[in-house]
Amino acid sequence: MKKMIIVVSILSVSFVFSENQKYPNGIYSKNYKKIKMKEESISAGRKIVSTGHSPSARYNSRESSFIATKVDSSLNGYGAYNSDPNPLAFVPDEGYVAVYRQFQGFDVTAGYIGAAQSEDGEEWFTEQKLNECYPGGQLCEPSLPTATGTPQGRYPSAGFAEDGQPTAIWNEYTNADYGGGTYGGFPLYAYDSDEIGEFSTWNTPFTLNNGCQTTPCDPADLWVGNSRVINGPSGAKLVAQYNSWADDTKELMITSSFYTNGYFLMNDPYISFDQLEDDPENPGTGLWYPGGYQSSPDWSINEDGVGYLATMGWWNGGIDDIESPTSQSLYIKKTEDYGETWTNDEGFHNSGWYEWSDELQVTIMDSLLTAWSDTAHPYYDEVYHYGDTLAYDMELDDNGDSVEVYFYPTPAWLPFYTFDLATDEDGGLHVIWPTLLYGCKDVNGGCEDSDGDLFADSLYFWTDIPGVGMIYMYNPDPTDDPSNWSATHISDLSNTYGADFFNSPIFHIYTDGASDYWGSMQYFYPQLSTGPDGTLWFASSAVSDIDTSTYYPTDIDIFMRKSADNGLTWSEEENVTNTPMEVATGGIVTYYLENGMHLAQQGTEEEIGVFFQMADFENETYPPATGYEDYLNRVYVGIYSNDFGSDVTVSTGGEFHVPGSFNLRQNYPNPFNPKTHIDYDLNVAGQVVLELYDLRGKLVETFINEEKPVGAHQFVLDGSQLASGVYFYTMTANGISRTRKLVLMK
């Protein structure tokens, strides 16, 4: 069995351990599990520790063209402090809708749901207290079935689709005899019957869970929701996924079957993920490793109803190295009917899930390390690569002599639970996930693979060296070809993962004094959204400044990138908020820390909406505070504009793309007239042939028949001399052929 030990490195200029630096006691890295979210307590009012109000941050046009507006405030920051809710929705040429926990005073409940709307993202109009009454309007505050009789809204999301109504989706913390289970989770939605803008008429909420038509609900206690409204075949479609406090091994999905003027007719909830799922190839054996080693699944569905559901975690055999994947991995299901059904056979163990295999992870990480070793690479001086020494230590050999022991990069990955995914308009899957960097110990064959399991015989990981952070991956269809992934290291988070949050005055919720990096990976989650014609948007909160003497983080900002070619190239990463701490009169430090960040569910080719919160550290609303959530929080929405990709002379800005395998991408635009782009990646140099066929299978033209090097390539097909119609293009490289359809419309 592989020996896998966590190593926490010391941040320094040389990244080398001193002779007297000893590694902490190693722990088996497979023992880390999903971190339990902190739950806020419930009370009508609370003791407020207040010294006044720190000033609001001011956001202006910058080099990154970022403008943000404070739209409201929240008594605490729990509404958007994790990656599940989707508090900002956007429809091109119509506007934005934000839904959040709303401040109504220091001495009242934190559970009011508020909404804000804007046609341009700059002028906002707010609506108060959407949840004063429950469905039917018979139960209203102060007589609601909650512990205080007042609204107790949790985890709100915003919904908005083309020609639809602004929608708010959330769950209520009700009494157990009402919502059932421990927390009485009672999911609701409401819509605004007016057009988006200044004037609003929000209706009394409707029940999202048909099982709550009679109480207690069945299924009971649906809690944290991952909810969106998407464009469906006959109008808006609501899709929501909830975990259950009544049975925390289950995730349930709810979809709508009919829509009219803001009202959704909901289908019954069904189990979309079950940690107790049986292994079809080993009946009576659970597919998943028990005990909280799987993430809550994330999902994304495009306007054609094609989408993916994915969970990060361990399967039952991998945890004991029985069968690939033998490390934490991603498992994926596909839908083609807006989430009504998902793949339920074929794939991994004939379960309907499709996995990231050991072979895939070694191939991807080997490609990344190889790219970093390229001296011509723009990140050459910023990341570690093959041949570098990650660290060294002094150990005693068998003779009792002190010898130097070295650690080197080795291909393996450590995907964490807080991934994000997006389905593009062509049905391709895009995933971003946090990772640390692995190395092997070059002693007694520790950097060799003596057992033939693809990995070095010793694996250690580092938290604070360049190369850790976010990895972006793309597959045109992971159920068609689970190995056809490409990868990019999209954001370095060495300062964030190496920072000492536990002792810092700007601590965050998940610190425990020993593993700040796990908390940072949980707390500073990635966000990924799509736009038209291959546009992708990435964002993450991260440490932007660190005290190199104490390793205390001194600032947190939002960082963003954009791709205009479906993830092939990316703009430079930009700090779009850039609000450093200020020292006010009397030496009081004011921190501007952007967190609770969420992208709108979609953007345009030029801009994307950004929802975030900022704690007011002079107003502590849940003392003793243990995270940003325990303070008054300001609610902001920013608009990030970036024209990267609109001019072919724009630099890639330090981006690099590593093909994990031969990959032929869908042409764009499609349909087209008269030109379209065909992108492809080669992981092995060789002869490439690109041919075009008509519907009858007759060869129309051969466009490419030549040697091509490793890397990303693009061919521009000019259809000026072709007739309108449907064609198929086939590329063959190194004996592998792939085919895709294109449509020419003149």
The single-letter DSSP state of residue 393 is: E
CA of residue 424 relative to chain centroid, distance: 15
Residue 418 has pLDDT above 90, yes or no: yes
Residue 549 Ramachandran class (φ > 0 left, ψ -120 to 50 alpha, else beta) = alpha
CA torsion angle for 140, 146, 152, 156 (degrees, to 10)? Answer: -90
| 272 close to 250: Cβ distance less than 8 angstroms | no
Q: How many CB atoms are located within 10 Å of the residue 365 CB?
A: 23
pLDDT category, 403, cuts 50, 70, 90? confident
CA torsion angle for 234, 240, 241, 245 (degrees, to 10)? Answer: -140
Q: Give CA–CA dist 232/245, Å, rounded.
A: 30
Residue 180 has pLDDT above 70, yes or no: yes
| 131 close to 199: Cβ distance less than 8 angstroms | no
Instruction: List for the chain the helix, strand, coil content (%; round to 5).
Output: 5, 40, 50
| pLDDT for residue 296 | 92
Q: Which of 105, 1, 72, 84 is nearest to 619 (CA)?
A: 105
| Residues 395-399, mean pLDDT to the nearest whole number | 79
Q: Which residue has the tokens 């092995």?
A: 684
Q: Which helix (H) or strand (E) element contains residue 371? A: helix 358-372
Measured CA distances, 240 to 188, 251, 677, 683, 694 (Å): 11, 10, 35, 38, 41
Q: Give CA–CA dist 175/185, Å, rounded.
A: 9
Q: Are strands 589-590 and 594-599 parallel, antiparallel or unpaired?
A: unpaired
| Residues 223-247, mean pLDDT to the nearest whole number | 95
Q: Give CA–CA dist 265/622, Å, rounded.
A: 39
Q: Which of 547, 429, 561, 550 is nearest to 490 (CA)?
A: 561
Q: Give CA–CA dist 379/653, Å, rounded.
A: 10
Q: What angle do CA 66, 68, 74 make, to 5 degrees?
A: 150
Q: How many CB atoms are located within 10 Å of the residue 680 CB?
A: 22
Residue 9 has pLDDT above 60, yes or no: no
| pLDDT for residue 479 | 96
The phi and psi torsions of 709 (rounded to 5 degrees) equal: -80, 170
Q: Give CA–CA dist 450/362, Å, rounded.
A: 16
CA of residue 4 relative to chain centroid, distance: 26
CA of residue 247 relative to chain centroid, distance: 25
In one-letter notation, the amino acid at residue 184 is G
| 225 close to 240: Cβ distance less than 8 angstroms | yes
Q: Which residue has the tokens 């960040």?
A: 597
| Residues 701-706, mean pLDDT to the nearest whole number | 94
Q: Which of 88, 64, 255, 68 is nearest to 602 (CA)?
A: 88
Lowest mean pLDDT among 41-45, 601-605, 681-685: 41-45
Helix (H, G, I), strand (E, B) or coil at 367: helix
In one-letter notation, the amino acid at residue 241 is Q
Residue 213 has pLDDT above 70, yes or no: yes
Q: Give CA–CA dist 433/417, Å, rounded.
A: 8
Q: Which helix (H) or strand (E) element contains residue 700? A: strand 699-708
Query: pLDDT digits over 99-158, tens only?
Result: 999 999 998 999 999 999 999 999 999 999 999 999 999 999 999 999 999 999 999 999
Query: pLDDT digits over 271-319, tens only?
Result: 999 999 999 999 999 999 988 889 999 999 999 999 999 999 999 998 7
Q: How many CB atoms are located within 10 Å of the residue 182 CB?
A: 14
Q: Which of 317, 331, 332, 327 is nearest to 365 (CA)?
A: 327
**Sheet of strand 675-682: strand arrangement:** 663-664, 675-682, 711-718
Q: Which residue has the tokens 């091994």?
A: 249
The overall longest dimension of the chain from CA atoms, in Å, is 82
| pLDDT for residue 60 | 58
Burial class (CB in 10 A: 0-12, 13-18, 19+), 626: middle
Q: Which of 567, 605, 348, 412 is nearest to 474 (CA)?
A: 567
Q: Give CA–CA dist 228/562, Å, rounded.
A: 22
**In terms of pLDDT, which residue wins out, 384 or 567?**
567
Assign domain 663-744 to its CATH architecture.
Sandwich (2.60)
pLDDT category, 585, cuts 50, 70, 90? low
| pLDDT for residue 1 | 35
Query: pLDDT digits over 723-740, tens only?
Result: 888 888 989 988 787 878
Q: Which residue has the tokens 């949050």?
A: 501
Residue 388 has pLDDT above 60, yes or no: yes
Q: What are the boundaries of each domain within the chain? A: 95-229, 663-744
Q: Which helix (H) or strand (E) element contains residue 298? A: strand 298-301
End-to-end CA distance of the chain: 61
pLDDT category, 553, cuts 50, 70, 90? very high
pTM of the model: 0.84
Q: Give CA–CA dist 250/273, Å, rounded.
A: 6
